Amino acid sequence: EPLVRVPAVYYPGINTSIITRKVRVFMSLYEFIANLTDAIPEIPADSIISRTLYAGDDMKAVLFAFAAGQELSEHTASMPATLIFMQGEADLMLGDEAQSAQAGTWVHMPPNLSHSIKAKTPVIMLLLLLRAAT
């Protein structure tokens, strides 16, 4: 689908600035994806894919796909973050603690927690970045 510039006023609950988003045949007050793993049909070897599924004032949702052996090196996020593992197995570092993740693993991290992810198998993971209410 082509991306077009659409006045946000057509989307209730979103500020009136101009946003870029996919235009759908119908207007909706919500976002719906029936199966997140279908959003990334194939994970190319030696790669990490990220797709922003939603970006609003309250949160940002990013779907990641890691080929086996790929890694996000140690980093921090300035806001609370939640990881939801949909598929595969990964090694995590959360602060100074090593953890294992597999399909169904849920992790919530406070702001500025140092963390890293290394995929042992192909991994699909949803990242939710939570913004403070204003």
Per-residue exposure over 55-82, b if at least 16 CB sit within 10 Å of its own CB, e if not: eeeeebbbbbbbbbebebeeeebeebbe
Who has greater pLDDT, 74 or 36?
A: 74
DSSP string, 79-105: S-EEEEEEESEEEEEETTEEEEEETT-
| pTM (2 d.p.) | 0.77
What residues does 123 pair with on adjacent strands?
66
Give pLDDT tens digits for 44-66: 999 999 999 999 889 999 999 99
Q: Which secondary structure element, helix H or strand E, spans residue 134, and what is its range? A: none
The beta strand positions in the chain, using DSSP E, are 3-7, 18-22, 48-55, 59-66, 71-75, 81-87, 89-94, 97-102, 106-109, 115-119, 123-130
Across the range 72-97, mean pLDDT stands at: 97
Which pLDDT belongs to residue 29?
75
Give pLDDT tens digits for 5-29: 444 434 444 444 444 444 444 456 7
The tokens describing 57, both together, are 């004032």
Which pLDDT belongs to residue 134?
57
Which pLDDT belongs to residue 95?
97
With tokens 């399909």, the residue in question is 103
What's the alpha-carbon Rg for the chain, to the nearest Å?
A: 16
